[in-house]
Amino acid sequence: MVQSAKGDAETSGVIVRDAVSAMQAIEGSSAQINQIIGVIDEIAFQTNLLALNAGVEAARAGEAGRGFAVVASEVRALAQRSAEAAKEIKTLISASTHQVGSGVKLVGQTGEALQRIVDRVAEIDGLVSEIAASAQEQAVGLAQVNTAVNQMDQVTQQNAAMVEQSTAASHSLAQEAETLQASVAQFKVGETASALATAPAPRAASRPGAPAPARSNHMVAALKTLGRGGAALKVEAAPQAAPASEGWEEF
């Protein structure tokens, strides 16, 4: 649209320049016509003088010059009418010349205004081109922003999924902790440890070097394992019974 307006303004400028040239030619022709009217007025003035002289000579001739006097009078009247017509034409030509001059001036001003319009349209064209380039750059930037927003959306969705997974894992760990606590509560750890601590040492076997019962060793191992798994108990095994006296009873 801006290019079309620019083309129309340039075309109007050319037309106005042609109109100025035509009106200047009309002004020149009017000046020539004014000169011609001046010549006609001069001829009418000379004809009037000649008719006046002819009338004077006819009056001197008396009766013989009466016809010539009539002709001279008619020529004089015709010269006067020609002079008056020439004056009127000269007045009209002068008015036309003045109007043509005013028209030439106005058309020249119109041409200057159209030239300024053409210049402004050219500036607007440049600004529109810059705006189009800026809009293109903004479109590219918006596309990049849209891509970044989509990536952020994907990352947010991934974070939400990870949070859901973490929440599910936390709930699962809480349930497992409750289950483990319930399982540990079934064992009477304190009573078993105190019973082992206060239990009497096992009596030595009748045979020398007999080992301690295996059941106590298994119990201590189980308590140590239980303490490492959840309760962190410090269980001390009962001291192993001293071996029986190696002496033989004398009968």
pLDDT in tens, 200-213: 555 544 444 444 44
The CA distance from 134 to 128, in Å, is 10
At 24, list the tokens. Answer: 């200047």
Residues with Cβ within 8 Å of 151's Cβ and at least 6 positions away in sequence, in order, are none
**CB 221, CB 196: distance < 8 Å:** no
Residue 229 binned pLDDT confidence (cut-offs 50, 70, 90): very low
Residue 163 binned pLDDT confidence (cut-offs 50, 70, 90): very high
Which segments of the chain does DSSP mark as H helices, in order? Answer: 2-61, 66-185, 189-198, 214-226
Give the 3-state secondary structure of residue 149.
helix
At 209, list the tokens. Answer: 């070097």
Give me the chain's average pLDDT, please. 75
At 17, list the tokens. Answer: 């320049």
The answer, as to whether pTM is greater than 0.85, is no
Give the 3-state secondary structure of residue 230.
helix
At 86, list the tokens. Answer: 């020439």
Give start-end residues of each CATH 1.10.287.950 domain in the chain: 2-144
Give the Cβ contact number of residue 166 at 10 Å: 10
Looking at domain 2-144, which CATH architecture does it have? Orthogonal Bundle (1.10)
**CB 55, CB 73: distance < 8 Å:** yes
**CB 104, CB 20: distance < 8 Å:** yes
